[in-house]
Every structure is written in C-alpha cells, then in structure tokens.
Chains A and B, each alone.
Chain A
Amino acid sequence: MKLAKTLLAATAAIALSMGAAAADGHSMKIKIGTEGAYPPFNNLEADGSLVGFDIDIANALCEEMKADCEFVTSDWDGIIPALLAGKFDAIIASMSITEERLEVVDFTSKYYNTPPAIAVPKDSDIAEATDAALAGKAIGAQSSTTHSNYAEEKLSSASLTLYPTPDEYKLDIANGRIDAVIDDVVVLSEWLETEDGACCKILGTLTPDPVINGEGAGIAIRKGEDELKAKFNAAIEAIRANGTYDTINAKYFDFDVYGG
C-alpha cells in the first residue's frame, strides 16, 4: 500500500511537472461541475455565488495545480451525464465513490468521508435508526444519491420518497409530509443548527455499506483522463500535507471530515 502510494505520488509529481511545463505561459483551464444545493458542502448564495467545503477544496486544488477553474452548476440527477457529455471536466460535489458510478466515470482518491444518518422530527415516535423501527414510515432522500440507494435496499420496510435536492425534503419534513430523512450526517447536522432545522433531530448514524456508500467522496472525471486524475490526486495529497486542507476543515467543521 505504501509502495503504491509512493509510486502514485511519484507519477503524479511527474505528470504535474509535465503539466506545468506544458501549461507554461497559459494556465490549464478546468471546468468544474457542482450542484449548489448541498450545504455545507456546496450551495448558492443570494448574490449568486457558490460557497461551501467542496468549493473551497476545489479552489485550493486548482491553486495547487496552477489551473484556471470555472464552476458550472448542474442538477444532481444530470450531473454525471453532463460530465460525460463534456459540459465540464470534473465533478467536485461530494460525490461518493461507488461501484455503480465507477462503471461510467473515474474517481480520484477520496477527499472526505462521513457516514449517513437519519433525522426525524423532534416529537417523532421512531425509536432508532433501523429498518424495523422505520417500517411503514415515509422516508425522504435526494434521488440518485448513495443515501437513496441505501434506503431502497437497507430500509426497504419504509416507503421511500425521492426529491430533486435536499432543500425539498427539508421543506417536506418540516411540513410533516415525510417522517424521516436520510442523508450525510454532516449535511443533516448543519441543517439542524439553522432556524429551519429546529423541527428535527438526528436519530442516529448508520453503518455505511461499502458497496452502496463507497469509500468516501471523490472527484469524478471522465474515464481515460488519467493525466487529470493524477493531477487531482497529487493536489489532494499536497493540500493534505501543507495544511490547506486542515484550514478549510476547521473553517466548516469541528471534527476531521477526512475520515479513516
């Protein structure tokens, strides 16, 4: 493993220096796709700007790669097709590295990893975050996510309601249309701290399933673009090593999101 890492770093370093040499004078242009509806990782402000952990990480990576980055927002449902169609070159949007997605796109190594969790209204009678306790309840999730897949397969006794973005399930659990929601624990806790999240509480975190949830969030790129992948991997290593990652981590969270 260590050897592999060293090798990876070495090839990455070579690729990076080659890239830098090639890009001398005019810096490399990368279009980055993101969703803009997933606070605290990526979301849109009223002035139209993108903010969040993903955005800061992306900017740090671009600076590390000396690349000129431009963000493009896309609906979550269509974000992979848009990548494949060449509408952008990389997805930095908290996308989990899963088998299913690996069949169509390639991923860099992870840049964070947090478990899924379930949130319920404060007065809910659901006792624990298990399939049995959720039987017959309506559970909300964002469609095309690892969380919706998890609910579909592991919480099959509950009825699953799918939403285009997390904002919609947040509206609906506050309205009482659904009894519980499943999403990343960080996303849920961030929401619960806001005024809108006052309705609800975290019921419990779930044990991630390696096949469904994957090994953490990575940067998705088109298959065969190994040079870009190597550059991103090297940049992730670099910001992990030089403290940039920790600074960004501290800006958003009081724990280590990188995970084990």
Chain B
Amino acid sequence: MDWQTLISFGDQGWGDEIARGVFITVTLALATLPLGLLIGFFIALAKQSEERTLRIAADVYTTIFRGLPELLTLFIVFYGMQIGIQNALRALGFETGIEINAFAAGMVALALVFSSYASEVFMSAFKAIPKGQYEGGHALGLSDGQTMRTIIAPQLIRIALPGLANLWMILLKDTALVSAIGLSDIVRQTGIAARVTKEAFLFYGIAFILFLVLALLSSIVINRIEAYGERSEAVR
C-alpha cells in the first residue's frame, strides 16, 4: 500500500484513527488546563500565606509532584486511585464498581503536575506586584477578595502569562504519556498504525509533525493573548 492510502480516512487508512487521537490529545490538554490553573493558584496562595502550616502543606505538595516522573504519577493515579477508592467504598459498605477512566486519570495526574509548576509561576508573579497595590485597594475601602479580583488578579495574569504559556507547551507534550495507560491519543494511535502496517517511520513521523503543528498553533494563540494583555502598555 502506498502512503496516501495508509493515511487516508476510512476503513483502509489510519487517517480517521489518528484524527481521533489528535482530538483526544487536544481535549485532554484543554480539560487539564483550568483544573491545573485553579489548583496552582490556590497552592501559590497557600505558599505565601502567613500561616506556617499552610506553607508547609503546599511545599509538600509541590515537592511530591515536581519530584515524581510524570509517567509514575500517571500510573499511581490510574491504578492506585481506583484501588484506593474501591477499598474505601467497600469499607463504607458500598459494593459498587466505581470506575476511573483513563481520560479522568490522565486529567487528574497531569493537573497535579501542572499545578505544582504553575504555583511557582504564580508565586513569582505575586512577588512582582508591589505591596502598595494591596494597600491602595484597602485605602479605597475594598475587601481582601475585591482587591484580589479587581486589582491584583489582572496584573498577576499578565505577569504570569509567559511562564504559563511555557507550562502549556509542556502540558501538551506530557499528554503523550497517557498512551501508556491505554488512552487513544496521538502517540498511541500512530503507534498502533506503525505496528500493524510496519511503517514505523511514516507514522511516528506523523506523530512528530502533529505535535509540532499543535505547538505552532499554540504559540500563535499565545502571542495573540500576550498582545491583548499588553495593549495598554504599547501607548507608553
């Protein structure tokens, strides 16, 4: 078979399978992003809290999830969480087979890793905001929450953006690991095609190019967002 047939859509080719893989990769990364950002933001808040116990708890969190290989975190979440939850439910007297699917496990594991790195980015962004901004908020009679929402957060996001963009690129690449727990992402789908057709170079090459295209598209979108964030600065 020539390569056009091999990558065509339909029953003969692997095009449709690979397209589904792209869809899984992109949805997984997009689904992980908000979860990871949210957790990361709270971890950053905890890390600069005046409460010592909170700081320690947050440090333990980042130490663990930045220290473990992503693949290992994925396995522990995929197998461990399932066994743990089932045992816990059984202890409570429920006899149901709750199932954590590979997508959810991948999302949770990637979010754990993403958030521990994101918390560092948020932390340094917090540090870059002068204390006077908080004091200004208070002087205007705003509550802590209002100050955070209307004064700090908008600046924070702008400062953190380059760091977060970098993390997004890493997240996109890390999704490749979910192929190891059986989620049909780009790497898994092209891998199956490569093994069945014995055209390893063609299909792994396709995987390589697809990731490159995703990275390229991401950087275009990120540049747009950055330009949007800096629109008020350009005047100066």
Contact = CB atoms under 8 A, between A and B. Distances in A.
Contacts of B13: 46
A37 B182 contact: no
B99 A86 contact: yes
Contacts, number: 51
Contacts of A85: 79, 82-83, 86, 99-100
A167 B191 CA distance: 10
Interface string B194-232: 011110100000000000000000000000000000000
Contact of B14 (A46, A82, A170): A46
A47 B11 contact: yes
Contacts of A73: 182
Query: Which among A44, A74, A84, A86 has the highest number of chain B CB atoms within 10 Å?
Result: A86
B17 A48 contact: yes
B181 interface: yes
A243 interface: no
Interface string B171-184: 00000000011100
A75 B191 CA distance: 12
A259 to B, nearest CB: 28
A87 interface: yes
A25 interface: no
A75 B198 contact: no
Contacts of B192: 36-37, 44
Contacts of B198: 170-171, 174, 196
A227 interface: no
Nearest to B96: A86
A108 B98 CA distance: 25
A114 B196 CA distance: 24
B97 A167 contact: no
B124 interface: no
Interface in A37-88: 37, 43-44, 46-48, 73-75, 78, 81-82, 84-87
Contacts of B14: 46
Contacts of B12: 46
B195 A168 contact: yes
B200 A81 contact: no
B79 A81 contact: yes
Nearest to B98: A86
A145 interface: no
| Interface class of chain A by DSSP | mixed
A11 interface: no
Interface of B: 10-14, 17, 79, 82-83, 86, 97-100, 180-182, 192-193, 195-198, 200
A73 B184 CA distance: 10
A171 B181 contact: no
A86 B86 contact: yes
A129 B94 CA distance: 53
A165 interface: yes
Given A74-B182, A81-B79, A171-B200, A86 B97 contact: yes
A170 B99 CA distance: 35
A43 B182 CA distance: 15
A82 B86 CA distance: 13
B86 A165 contact: no
A126 B11 CA distance: 41
Nearest to A79: B182
Given A46-B14, A47-B11, A86-B86, A167 B79 contact: no
Contacts of B100: 85
B146 to A, nearest CB: 46
Contact of A87 (B10, B99, B200): B99
Contacts of B82: 85-87
Contacts of A81: 79
B17 A165 contact: no
Contacts of A168: 195
